[in-house]
Structure 1
Amino acid sequence: MSEHDAPRVVRPVRNQLSLQPTDLEALVPDEHPVRAIWTLVERLDLSAFYDEIASRGSNAGRPATDPAVLLALWLFANSEGVGSARLLERLCERDAPYRWICGGVPVNHHTLADFRVEHGKKLDRLMTQVLAALMKEGVVQLRRVAQDGMKVRASAGAASFRRRQSLERCRKEAEEQVRKLRREIESDPSASTKRVQAAKERAAQARLDAVEAALAEVEVVEKQRVERDEKKPSDARRRGEIRVSTTDAESRVMKMADGGFRPAYNVQFATDESGVIVGTDVTNNGTDQPHVVPMLDEIRRRTGETPREYLVDGGFVTLDNIEAIAERGATPYAPLPKPKSKAVDPHAPKRNDTPAIGAWRVRMGTEDAKRVYVQRGVLAERTNADLRVHRRLDRLNVRGLVKVKTIVLLAAISFNIMRLVASRLSA
């Protein structure tokens, strides 16, 4: 082909230096949700975060990353289902909304990960702040609240669960490995070898610490089992050996929504009829019954009020729970246990019923109560589905009850802030 017949194309030139000015403001439309999130973050009281910063005035030290930037990044990331600090770091380099939040502030995954799990108490106060704003604007009125729980997969494998005997053997092996590595470090003068050996020693020590934590948790589980068994007849007591994970000692094997059994945490949410989360709780107890009273007290602590109507499913129902709901000033709506005999009217008060229990039985037989109770699934299960599917709260990437609680709090705050954003946009 002659030169005159060859096609003319523009070829890439990758070794050409160039300057590309960027206007971050122009990259994000005025109506983009990230702007509303940043506006709300700026209005929150973040003084507790700033009080911990050591770099001040002319004092020596590297300036800290602005906590408002880190908080806004996680809130927006959570709303988009991003739960990985490494992925969030990459998004801050390439995606316009995340770059806009950063505004040129460099962030890395270590800073992001540490911020997310090290500020549980501060996030707890932020949750209360956001709820107060929603109540002030009339979005949350606590007229009707539904509670539900979901099992969230822990960051631990089933094979990591071991019996006490196996843990004791692992501890001896780990202790011997630590001692061996320390002897090798002391006997080898080479600096480079020492660094390698020191890294191995840290890994061995971490393994030993994990086994020690698992053994300590065995003691906790044994004590809990004894306390539960004291309330049961002898033929109903559990006989199997206790197993604890060496990966996440505080996780427990629980029955999941699909019927399988896997390491998990029990995450509880209470949702107002406005769709706002008004209470959260995380435990490693797989049953729901013990979590009614703590959640009601949690709502009272955060809002200063008690819901007028409280909706729970059959997994939460005990007579003590129904009584406790009524004692706190709420009207309980929950399904009645199925009577053993078809001749028994489940809606008729029984001889030993307290007034609150008797009223609950009668109430649940009315058409009004049935219409109210139908909303439980709409409120509670919709919230759980949103958090599980859209915010990726289906599998945890942190370990330990304290860190899991911070992850759940952050998810709830993000969920509520998007409700607040929607409320203000529609006003």
Structure 2
Amino acid sequence: MAHFIVADRKTDYLLPPSLDDWLNQDHLARFIVDVIDQLDLSKLIQQYAGRGSKAYHPATLLGILVYGYATGVFSSRRLEQATYDSVAFRFIAANLHPDHDSLAAFRRRFLDELSDLFLQILEMAKEMKVLKVGNICLDGTKMEANASRHSALSHGYIEKLEVQLKAEVQELLALAEKADQADLPTGVDLPEELKRREDRLAAMAAAKATIAARAKERYQREKAEYDEKVARRAAKEEATGKKLGGKPPKPPEPGARASDQVNLTDEESRIMPVAGGGFKQAYNAQAAADAATMLVVATGVSQAPNDKEQVEPMLATLKAQVDVLGTVECLIADSGYCSEKNIKACEAAGIDPLIAVARDEHHPGWRERHSEPALLPDNATPTQAMSHRLKTKAGRAHYALRKQTIEPVFGIIKSVMGFRRFSLRGLKKVTGEWTLVCMAWNLKRLAVLRPQ
């Protein structure tokens, strides 16, 4: 007869059980608790007034949130349940069970303070001699907004629907004035039907106002770009004494376009194209990662679907962190970031830009991979000089760091940590949540890189 180890669930423990005995010493939950205990949380603590019932300590709530984001638990209700079901969450919460309202309110309340905590963790990584900022790889990824793209209204559709709803309102008002309402279908409540249409008309009027404001900002931006192109073209014609060929720049058109959209759930999100085709309601989440450690050193969120305008904000963030992290030597990015303005901005910041000018061929010839480009002319522009460097063996090897650094970071955040959609709404809030996501990634990564 087989011998089995009997599972006895009824015998009580002789001594009270200890949560400390139920987790491995190298468990991620232990590491997160140890790191958070070393952070300066004074900016969070001083915001508690001390009145009313006792609140959960910020270190406890922060630990639950960070471990949740690191392991794919983002909902405040699921986090509350995890403090009962998961040994790791019980350990972090010290056998307490903060309710979902407390967790959700803490996450919303302290989004602004997360950037300081994010930097403190990076400073700790540097003190551990894990992080040494040198080569930084920058990229962006489309992250779904907490809103469906089917909740979006275009300017053209709003104008079409307004005509229909106004006609229906007039018809309902005419029916309401009739003494005999025999033609009215059974179960129709005229005041309720009128209110529903008036509410929709008011919402659409607000949406049109938002679209008009965006169109005005776009026109001012495009007008400035147009004026710059015209001035540059005129300067070239004056310098050469010849009229330039090709079509002159086309001036932008003011006003809203029929395709301009606004989302009624999260109006600050945007419809964005995604890889592989299609569109989704999203934000453009940016991250700059250290090539040696894959730690994210700077974050940002944009409403623009392309990355052209994201270099200067990232340079400003890196400059603000110089005293803590040190000087960045090289910024590596794909062709989505390439522009003469961005190259000059990197050089002005004392950072060597290595930004792809165009997409590389997937299968270049073997001679091309083992040869050096022709010598660079003396009068080469900054863009030409950078393009020449990218064609050298050293430049190609240096640029290859991008693919093995930032792309795995996004892949792990989306596929392993499971973060593909923001829980909060509005640009400011999703920016804070993205910082929280990258903080969780950094702690997850530091737990692997820490000296044993």
Instruction: Place the TM-score, normalised by the shorter chain, in its bin.
Output: 0.7 to 0.9
Aligned-pair CA distance for 1:306 = 3.6
Question: Is 1:258 matched with 2:286?
Answer: no
* 2:190 paired residue number: none
* 1:36 paired residue number: 31
2:423 is aligned with what amino acid?
Answer: N
Aligned-pair CA distance for 1:423 = 2.9
Conservation of the 8 A alpha-carbon contact between 1:271 and 1:279? yes
Q: 1:114 to 1:350 in 2, by over 3 A?
A: farther
1:24-423 mapped onto 2 (5 Å cutoff): 24-55=19-50, 60-164=51-155, 166=158, 214-215=207-208, 217-230=210-223, 231=225, 233-234=249-250, 239-273=257-291, 274-304=293-323, 305-337=326-358, 353-354=380-381, 356-423=382-449
Conservation of the 8 A alpha-carbon contact between 2:284 and 2:302? yes
Aligned-pair CA distance for 1:336 = 2.6
Q: Secondary structure at the match of 2:422?
A: coil
**What are the superposed Cα offsets for residues 109-132 of structure 1, whole Å, 9 maximum, x if unpaired?**
111112222212210100111111
Q: 1:208 to 1:73 in 2, by over 3 A?
A: farther
Aligned-pair CA distance for 1:327 = 1.6
Q: Secondary structure at the match of 1:68?
A: helix
- Partners of 2:331 and 2:151 in 1: how far apart? 39
**What are the superposed Cα offsets for residues 339-360 of structure 1, whole Å, 9 maximum, x if unpaired?**
9xxxxx9977679754x33431
- Partners of 1:120 and 1:158 in 2: how far apart? 26
Q: Secondary structure at the match of 1:146?
A: strand
Aligned-pair CA distance for 1:211 = 6.4
1:258 is aligned with what amino acid?
Answer: G
Conservation of the 8 A alpha-carbon contact between 2:335 and 2:359? no
Conservation of the 8 A alpha-carbon contact between 1:210 and 1:247? no
Aligned-pair CA distance for 1:164 = 4.7
**What are the superposed Cα offsets for residues 221-240 of structure 1, whole Å, 9 maximum, x if unpaired?**
21232134323543887954
Conservation of the 8 A alpha-carbon contact between 1:280 and 1:409? yes
* 1:193 paired residue number: none
- Partners of 1:312 and 1:209 in 2: how far apart? 44
Q: 1:214 to 1:406 in 2, by over 3 A?
A: farther
Aligned-pair CA distance for 1:395 = 1.5
Q: Secondary structure at the match of 2:147?
A: coil
The alignment's TM-score, normalised by the length of structure 2, stands at: 0.74
1:48 is aligned with what amino acid?
Answer: K
- Partners of 2:42 and 2:349 in 1: how far apart? 34
Q: Secondary structure at the match of 1:121?
A: coil
Conservation of the 8 A alpha-carbon contact between 1:346 and 1:361? no
Root-mean-square deviation (CA, aligned residues, Å) is 3.5
- Partners of 2:201 and 2:98 in 1: how far apart? 33
1:423 is aligned with what amino acid?
Answer: L
Q: Secondary structure at the match of 2:95?
A: coil
Conservation of the 8 A alpha-carbon contact between 1:350 and 1:358? no
Q: 1:346 to 1:420 in 2, by over 3 A?
A: same
**What are the superposed Cα offsets for residues 46-85 of structure 1, whole Å, 9 maximum, x if unpaired?**
0111101112xxxx51001111001001111111111111
Conservation of the 8 A alpha-carbon contact between 1:251 and 1:284? yes
Q: Secondary structure at the match of 2:53?
A: coil
Q: 1:34 to 1:207 in 2, by over 3 A?
A: farther
What are structure 2's unaligned runs of at least 5 residues? 1-6, 170-195, 227-248, 361-371
2:335 is aligned with what amino acid?
Answer: G
Q: 1:133 to 1:214 in 2, by over 3 A?
A: farther
Q: 1:213 to 1:236 in 2, by over 3 A?
A: closer
Q: 1:39 to 1:352 in 2, by over 3 A?
A: same
What are structure 1's unaligned runs of at least 5 residues? 1-9, 177-202, 340-344
Conservation of the 8 A alpha-carbon contact between 2:219 and 2:252? no
Aligned-pair CA distance for 1:397 = 2.2
Q: 1:209 to 1:134 in 2, by over 3 A?
A: farther
- Partners of 1:66 and 1:207 in 2: how far apart? 44
Q: Secondary structure at the match of 2:143?
A: strand
Aligned-pair CA distance for 1:422 = 2.5
Q: Say how many residue pairs are matched.
A: 373
Conservation of the 8 A alpha-carbon contact between 1:131 and 1:303? no
Aligned-pair CA distance for 1:208 = 10
**What are the superposed Cα offsets for residues 314-355 of structure 1, whole Å, 9 maximum, x if unpaired?**
11101111111122111111223489xxxxx9977679754x
Conservation of the 8 A alpha-carbon contact between 1:217 and 1:250? no
Identity %: 28
Q: Secondary structure at the match of 1:336?
A: coil
- Partners of 1:300 and 1:209 in 2: how far apart? 45
Q: Secondary structure at the match of 1:138?
A: coil
* 2:236 paired residue number: none
